[in-house]
């Protein structure tokens, strides 16, 4: 079970415990203001932990993507193990979504994210080989897949995840990842590192946007 899935289950359980504790305190004539304060603190803790776990999932996404870029460009022997771990991260993200939107939705997102990774690999390998037609085809498919991911997220939570926002967010992720990969492939390692820092900042913004959208859509799971 992924960190976000575990957190979601914990959030519901902790919320129930806090509500139960509040009821007991009320029956013992405890001060209502204190009861509300306990519940609010617990709810806030749940939300903060959930946001942290969402950040961890997406930081794993960019970390293992970077390690894949490094291993693939250099032809390192850890490439297959790194690829497997990167693909497992897409399963983890799908599991997190399934907690709230159902197993079918989780599997659909995992499939889209796996295509996101595999198309990125095709693009990188075409660039390594100097195959300009391959680069163009893989790039077009990669960005089309990003739009699909953005649309999928919007459909799941249209009130809090606007279509333009989701697709812009995904395009920025691709633009920055491509900047990172090209710099590494060309041996511009200072630029490569700087690009990864930009990838990191953007992915945290993405993670927070997704976590906040889920919290807003399912407030009962986080103490109201």
Q: Which pLDDT tens digit goes with each residue over 119-148? A: 999 999 999 999 999 999 999 999 999 999
pTM as predicted: 0.82
Q: Which is more confidently placed, 4 or 73?
A: 73
Helical H segments across 75-131, by residue range: 79-101, 103-129
Nearest to 3 by CA among 44, 59, 43: 59
- Domain residue spans in the chain? 56-218
Segment 85-96 mean pLDDT: 98
Lowest mean pLDDT among 1-5, 74-78, 218-222: 1-5
Q: What is the predicted pLDDT for the residue at 114?
A: 98
Task: Please determine, for residue 25, whether its predicted confidence score (pLDDT) is greater than 60.
Answer: no
């Amino acid at each position: 079970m992924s960190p976000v899935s575990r957190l979601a289950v914990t959030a519901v359980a902790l919320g129930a415990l806090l509500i139960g504790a509040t009821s007991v305190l009320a029956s013992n004539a405890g001060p209502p203001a204190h009861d509300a304060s306990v519940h609010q603190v617990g709810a806030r803790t749940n939300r903060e932990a959930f946001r942290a776990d969402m950040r961890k999932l997406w930081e794993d996404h960019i970390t293992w993507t970077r390690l894949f870029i490094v291993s693939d460009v250099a032809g390192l022997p850890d490439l297959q193990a790194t690829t497997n771990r990167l693909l497992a991260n897409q399963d983890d993200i799908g599991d997190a979504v399934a907690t709230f939107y159902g197993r079918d939705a989780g599997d659909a997102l995992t499939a889209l994210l796996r295509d996101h990774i595999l198309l990125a690999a095709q693009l990188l390998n075409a660039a390594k080989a100097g195959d300009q037609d391959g680069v163009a085809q893989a790039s077009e498919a990669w960005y089309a897949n990003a739009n699909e991911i953005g649309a999928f997220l919007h459909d799941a939570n249209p009130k809090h995840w606007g279509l333009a926002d989701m697709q812009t967010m995904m395009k920025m992720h691709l633009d920055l990842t491509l900047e990172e990969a090209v710099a590494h492939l060309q041996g511009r390692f200072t630029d490569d590192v700087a690009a990864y820092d930009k990838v990191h900042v953007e992915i945290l913004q993405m993670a927070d946007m997704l976590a906040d959208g889920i919290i807003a859509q399912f407030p009962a799971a986080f103490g109201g």
